[in-house]
Amino acid sequence: MLRHSLRRLLGLIPTLLMLITVAFFMMRVAPGGPFDSEKSLPPEIEANLNAKYHLDDPLLKQYFHYLGQVAVLDFGPSFQYKDWTVNELIAQGFPVSMTVGVLAMSLAFIVGTLLGIAAALRQNTRIDYSLMGVAMLGISIPNFVIAPILILVLAVYAGWLPAGGWDGGFASMVLPVLTLALPATAYIARLTRGSMIEVLHSNFIRTARAKGLPESVVIRRHALRPVLLPVISFMGPAMAGMISGSVVIERIFSIPGLGSYFVQGALNRDYTLVMGVVILYGVLIILLNFVVDLIYAWLNPKIRYDETS
């Protein structure tokens, strides 16, 4: 397991290098530049800005210069947010996105798993059809529709919660967390139901029941771990997406998270900011998928990673 973990972590380097290379050249190929605006800058000012940020260097030289910065975890200055570095912007937005994302995924995992198990244990009954119907509805309705509905019901009409803004308090977290969690809850509920139905028809479950074990013990001790395998597989990339920030949610609820910076950076051709967020997102996906592999081995003892290969 240790050798496998080290190999996976070392494999992060070429993957990130490929990600940085593709993102870097795609940003440069896109039309426009970081200092383009409706009113053109005087040529001498634009030349000075390009020289300051090394944008007048040959493209390959810019690329290797940026790689040197990334190697020491320096994503450079932001072209649009004056007097701010990309590291400072990420440090400011990432904790907010991480808080909302982790809370939303935790809520989705708990509620979705319970609903999926309940539906599977009552397969082809009204409860099963009702729960899966609601789950399908949750998958079908996009976040930008769910968010205004929750604002109208819980903030405008009921007056229980603020309609937007962010102060780090519990009240300001509820609506964005609920909005992010609902689609993930629906996906997890359907995955759990399908997995539970399959597991309950397995031979080892029949054996456990034949031994006279109570149904609750059979579910908890024997069925739950294999049931969670597809759920954990889904949660890896889904968690990375939530932590990196949902652009729509952050816009609707005025949350100063990472997604807002990413959109503004892309619109303003803020090369360094977009690159920094892309690299961070890539690292999150790789690390979370690595964690999923470790959890797989813990949930299913039959899964072993070859130490001698």
- Give the residue among 225, 221, 224 at the shortest CA–CA distance from 213: 221
- Give the residue among 88, 98, 103, 112 at the shortest CA–CA distance from 240: 98
Rounded CA gap, 198 and 70, in Å? 46
**CA distance readout (Å), 21 to 17, 121, 245:** 6, 49, 23
> Is the pLDDT higher at 265 or at 132?
132
Question: Are the CB atoms for 303 and 296 separated by under 8 Å?
Answer: yes
> Is the pLDDT higher at 282 or at 53?
282
In the chain, where are the structural domains located? 1-309
Place of tokens 């399959």: 198
Architecture of domain 1-309 in CATH?
Orthogonal Bundle (1.10)
Question: Residue 110: what pLDDT?
Answer: 92
pLDDT digits (tens, 9 = 90+) for 42-64: 777 777 777 777 777 788 888 89
Q: How much is the average pLDDT of 267-276?
A: 84
> Of 100-104, 170-174, 275-279, 292-296, which gets the smallest average pLDDT?
292-296
Tell me the pTM: 0.80
- Give the residue among 209, 225, 229 at the shortest CA–CA distance from 217: 209
> Is the pLDDT higher at 143 or at 179?
179
Question: Residue 62: what pLDDT?
Answer: 86
Q: How much is the average pLDDT of 199-215?
A: 85
Rounded CA gap, 110 and 77, in Å? 40
> Of 1-15, 34-48, 143-157, 250-264, which gets the smallest average pLDDT?
34-48
Task: Pull the structure tokens for residue 229.
Answer: 């395998």
Q: How much is the average pLDDT of 191-207?
A: 88
β-sheet bridge partners, residue 85: 77
Question: Residue 115: what pLDDT?
Answer: 92
Question: Are the CB atoms for 232 and 68 separated by under 8 Å?
Answer: no
Task: Pull the structure tokens for residue 82.
Answer: 């004056």
